Every structure is written in C-alpha cells, then in structure tokens.
Amino acid sequence: MAMQIFVNLAVKDLQRTIAFFERLGFGFDARFTDDNATCMVVSDGIYVMLLVEPFFQTFTPRPVADARATTEVLMCLGVESRARVDELVAAAVAGGGRTLKPAKDHGFMYEHGFEDLDGHLWELVYMEPEGESAAPAA
C-alpha cells in the first residue's frame, strides 16, 4: 500500500476556509467533514485536514501556533505549469489571501506562493521536465 499524508492545520472559520480553497479548485471528502473539521483532497494520497482551533487543540498539549506571527510549516505543492502557479496565486489573493514575496523564475523552476486566511504559507512550484530546462534567471 502506498503511504498517504494527512497534514493537519488549525483554522478559525471552517466554512470561510472551505470557500477559500474551493475557489482554488480543491475538493473535500464529505466522510471526514463536520462542524469541527474537513478533509481537503490535494491529490491521491495527499490530504489536508482543516480543523477548527478548539478541536485542533484536542490533539496536542502544546499551544496552537498563530500562523500569522510564526511559521509552523511551509506547504509546497508541485503543479503542472507556470500558468497554474499564477492562476492559483491569483485565486488565493482574490479570495482574501495575500502574497508575501514576488514570483521567482529560476529557469528550470518557477515558484510563487500565498498566505491563506489563517496565515498558513503555501508555496507553488513548477519544475521543467528533465532535459527541457532553460538557463537559470539572474
């Protein structure tokens, strides 16, 4: 059996967060959705559990990080094209997210990212298929 990953993130407003990520094209698994949580499907084997903060707190004795003040994790997703990187960032910003830095073009790799409604950082990267890379940008 292939391994799966379930990233768990604390959120303040579950319905607002679901609407934000639906705008980016993500779907949700209704079997793992209630008033406290939802399971966002990133791809086969990659899931993000979005948990309201009080429910998230039940899984750890440590304080829940304020993702707007500290970086608890950087999520990086590989996507199929440079255009898709730009589309997702634009959708995130239109939905209330924000960018923290400009896009970077390394020639063989293009990256940009956004901060979601709760301050979690999402990086998006497109890497040229092997043998098709251009010279790195200066």
Question: Are residues 52 and 106 both part of a single domain?
Answer: no
* pLDDT of residue 138 exceeding 70: no
Burial (Cβ within 10 Å: 0-12, 13-18, ≥19) of residue 120: buried
Residues 112 and 71 in one domain: yes
Q: End of a domain among 62, 94, 115?
A: 62
Contacts of 133 (CB under 8 A, 6+ apart): 107, 108
pLDDT band at 98 (very low <50, low <70, confident <90, very high): very high
User: Do residues 72 and 137 both lie within one domain?
Assistant: yes
pLDDT at 130: 76
CATH of the domain at 87: 3.10.180.10
CB proximity list for 76: less than 8 A, separation 6 or greater: 122, 123, 124, 125
19-38 tens-digit pLDDT? 999 999 999 999 999 999 99
Q: Which domain holds residue 13?
A: 1-62
pLDDT digit string (tens) for 83-94?
999 999 999 999
Of the listed ranges 10-19, 63-72, 90-99, the least confidently predicted one is 63-72
Number of domains the chain contains: 2
Same domain as 92, residue 50 = no
Whose CA is closest to 19, among 99, 95, 123? 95
Q: Are residues 136 and 86 in the same domain?
A: yes
CA torsion sign, 48 to 87 to 116 to 24? negative
Average pLDDT, the chain: 93
In 10 A of CB 61, how many CB atoms? 6
Do 28 and 71 fall into the same domain? no
SS3 of residue 72 by DSSP: coil
